[in-house]
Amino acid sequence: MEKHYAFIKDNRVALLSIFDTQNEELADLIAQEQGYDDAVWVGEDKPSIYSTYNGTTFTPPTDEYLISIGVLQPKVKITE
């Protein structure tokens, strides 16, 4: 089973990386070098990319947020 670190930027999951084992020193070094605010070990319980993180809990991103960053297209109503 894959295990992950979530790299946090501005309280959002900006990147998920696969690691063989928990390695805080390496994850912190990557976070620092790449400009992330934090690296959080999540193991097998990986959150969704763009989830918010409040220091303890990951919350999946809203459709509105995903639309605002261009990841999701708004639903279009088709009328005849």
Residue spans per domain, the chain: 3-68
Which strand ranges, in their side-by-side order, compose the sheet holding 38-43?
A: 38-43, 3-9, 12-19, 52-53, 58-59
Two tokens, residue 71: 């990841």
pLDDT score at 79 = 79
Alpha helices in the chain (DSSP H): 24-34, 63-68
Q: What is the pLDDT of residues 54-75, one digit of tens each?
A: 999 999 999 999 999 999 998 8
Q: What pTM was estimated for this model as a whole?
A: 0.87
Are 36 and 14 within 8 A, CB to CB? yes
- Does pLDDT of 39 surpass 80? yes
Closest CA to 37 of 23, 54, 21, 22: 54
